[in-house]
Amino acid sequence: MKTEILKINRDNINIDFIKKAASFIKNGDLVAFPTETVYGLGADGLNDEACRKIFKAKGRPSDNPLILHISHISMLDNLVEEITDKHRKLFDLWPGPMTLIFKKSDLIPDAVTAGGDTVAIRFPSDKVALALISQANTPIAAPSANISGRPSPTKASDVYQDMDGIIPVIIDGGESNIGIESTVIDLSGDEPTILRPGFYTYEFLKEILDDMKLDDSLVDSTKIPKSPGQKYKHYAPKAKLRVFIGENVPAYILKLADKYKEEGKKVGILVFDEDKDKFASYPYLSLGSRNDLSTMSHVLFSSLREMDRLGVDIILAEGVRENHLGKSIMNRMKKAAANDVNYL
């Protein structure tokens, strides 16, 4: 299959390209598209057969449900069973990087829910995503547009790397600003529970709903996550990633890098701006300034992919403290590193 790339400027949207991409969705085909978090791999969310194509294209385990993307709050009514006034308080954060899980309506195909009785809904803010959903006139089911297990794509070229020849269309709408996936909150039980932390943090969400909880697995890593997707290997670069947190991390990483180099391994470094001078003799990428977690989340996945392009065997990276956005970033880093996270 030939994969076509449609380049669309967020600030001056080419409606002909949107119409073309939407016609693929309506025909039951897959379209990769930008969102403010990461790129999604979209299909008509009310078409079971189309949604099954997503699992095949990604190599995604069939028990991992999909998020339905809407372009207007009114689209919710047909998709979910019940919305309470309490839940509505969170709607102020929409459109945006938040996914809410509700009891599903009968309209939702099995492929979307992976056979469960709940459905995940997100109202993204990216203008290209919104135009595509409106034009397709259906909720668009979309996981991140990577091959399962790989870092999520934050630009069209990352999608192309994984999906060339597998899907017919990629919309190139530039870089995803946020860079890590949406915060997933389960509203189907008695207490609102964060299943996956993201740009909207626990600390922030607790201000809106004071009984907001974190899933047990986000507090104690030995607990099994409630969200199926959270239990799989994830975000993994081809190289081995090792993460270090604490005092004097740059000096420690430098020593370790020298040791690996002596063993004949090619080492890449992910480091904060403040320390990058120390690593001039290694391929390194900056995660931004130490105090700028937004930049860190924006570049994290693309840096992991870039390290693979550089062909390194081992990536040594500095991590951050696990609160606020740091908790969401470390959630991704831990999985990418298969838990090789070391506290110095």
List of residues contacting ligand TXA (CB under 6 A): 35, 37-38, 40, 64-67, 99, 101, 113, 116, 118-120, 122, 142-144, 181-182, 184, 195-196, 227-230
With CB atoms as reference, the residue minimizing the distance to Mg ion is 144
* Nearest alpha carbon to residue 130 among 3, 262, 259, 13: 13
Residue 193, contacted partner among Mg ion, ligand TXA, none, CB below 5-8 A by kind: none
Are residues 243 and 342 in contact, defined by beta-carbon separation less than 8 angstroms?
Answer: yes
Are residues 44 and 31 in contact, defined by beta-carbon separation less than 8 angstroms?
Answer: no
Minimum CB–partner distance for residue 48 and ligand TXA (Å): 15
Minimum CB–partner distance for residue 291 and ligand TXA (Å): 24
Residue 227 binding Mg ion, by CB under 5 A: no
Minimum CB–partner distance for residue 189 and ligand TXA (Å): 11
Minimum CB–partner distance for residue 40 and Mg ion (Å): 9
Kindly list the distances between the CA atom of residue 333 and the CA atoms of 32, 64, 188, 243, 320, in Å, as whole numbers in the listed order.
24, 21, 28, 8, 10
For Mg ion, give the closer residue by CB, 104 or 332. Answer: 332
Kindly list the distances between the CA atom of residue 341 and the CA atoms of 3, 105, 184, 245, in Å, as whole numbers in the listed order.
38, 41, 24, 8
Residue 217 binding Mg ion, by CB under 5 A: no
Residue 176 CB: number of other CB atoms within 10 A? Answer: 25
**Helix 293-310 crosses helix 325-336 at what angle (to 10 degrees)?**
20
For ligand TXA, give the closer residue by CB, 112 or 341. Answer: 112
In degrees, rounded to 5, the angle at the alpha carbon of residue 344 between the alpha carbons of residues 279 and 301 is 55
Minimum CB–partner distance for residue 320 and Mg ion (Å): 21
With CB atoms as reference, the residue minimizing the distance to ligand TXA is 229
- How many positions of this chain bind Mg ion (CB under 5 A)? 1
- What is residue 80's three-state secondary structure? strand
Residue 144 binding Mg ion, by CB under 5 A: yes
Please give the residue ranges that form the binding site for Mg ion (CB under 5 A): 144
